[in-house]
Amino acid sequence: MACEQCGGEGSPALPGTNCPECGTAGGTARREWAGGPGPGRSRGRALTGRLLLLSRRNKLLLTGAVVVAVVALTVSAADLYGDTSQASGASGDGPAGGAGDDIGDLGGAPQRIAPADPPNDASSPPPLRATPKPPAKVRPPDEARGPAYSAWAGPGCTGGGLYREENRFGDGDDGWYTVSSGGHRGDGCDGRFTAVPMSGTSTEDSGGRATWSWYVGSGYGTCSVAVVVPDSGRDRDVAGRPTTYNVLSDPDDPGSVVKVFEIDQTELRGSGLVIEKVPVHDQKLTVQLVDRGEDQGDGDGSGAHHAAAQMRAECRA
């Protein structure tokens, strides 16, 4: 029902009136009506009017409810802000901030921590094993290594080197003769040797010669020669003092002498002597005994001979 003083339902308020229930003046109502108030302003004034009509007790209850609601909103906002700050701090600090925390501060349901899976032996590579190095090869000295070339030559020797005699003649004990034993036996040699008569002078040869030669091959500049001095038990058979040996560059040329050495056979009977660094020419090694010497012999001083026995040539690269 419309108020006669305030107006309503299309009728304006009475001028100069003031409604004790609505609390509005007639003039004010007219001005607002003239300005065309909207529906939101009318609802607000209606709500204000209803609040004014409440009793004091109801106003206190309403005020208390509002206060409680504000406090509740404030507490909720504070809790929400605090949870956000803690979450941000936990994500920023990482594991460093949790080292000193008590286990009771950890939130959430308890979880079982399972041990890590043991390593899989099948998938893991086998351990590396050091491979032992083979021992270094030690090269033996030249003396320990066998010679590259070695051969015997002389009376009664077969194979290896060559032996020949020049201007041999027979005249009993005064000429050339063969002694059946006393020389080197073995290595293809039977131990015999030749007794070569002397020329009668220590400065000239009479033409009697015994020659040993070897074809040693390439790669050798010098070789060693082991000269055997035999012992037959009769001094006149081995009586060179000294016996002269010429080293030849050509086995067919007695004049191609490149080296000379002498051996006192009377001091070395039954043994021998090694001559080092004997020159090699055209892959050949040649040693020649000449018959120069005085026929003094031992004892009676007659029938002295040079002994031509075995020789061994050895060559090393």
pLDDT tens readout for residues 28-74: 434 443 344 455 555 555 566 666 666 777 778 878 888 888 888 88
State pTM to two decimals: 0.55
Return the percentage of the chain with pLDDT > 90, whole number.
Answer: 49
Number of domains present in the structure of the chain = 1
Three-state secondary structure of 215-238: ECCCCCCEEEEEEEECCCCCHHHC
Mean pLDDT of each 10-residue bin along the chain, 317 residues long: 51 52 46 44 58 71 82 73 50 44 45 52 57 62 69 95 97 95 97 97 94 96 98 96 97 96 97 97 98 73 89 95
Residue 194: inside a domain: yes
CA torsion angle 40 45 49 50 (round to 10): 10
Q: Show the tokens assigned to 144.
A: 């320990």
Q: Show the tokens assigned to 250.
A: 């050509």
- The whole domain housing 241 covers 149-315
118-153 pLDDT, tens digit per residue, is 555 555 556 556 566 666 665 555 555 667 899 999
Residue 276 belongs to domain with CATH number: 2.60.120.260
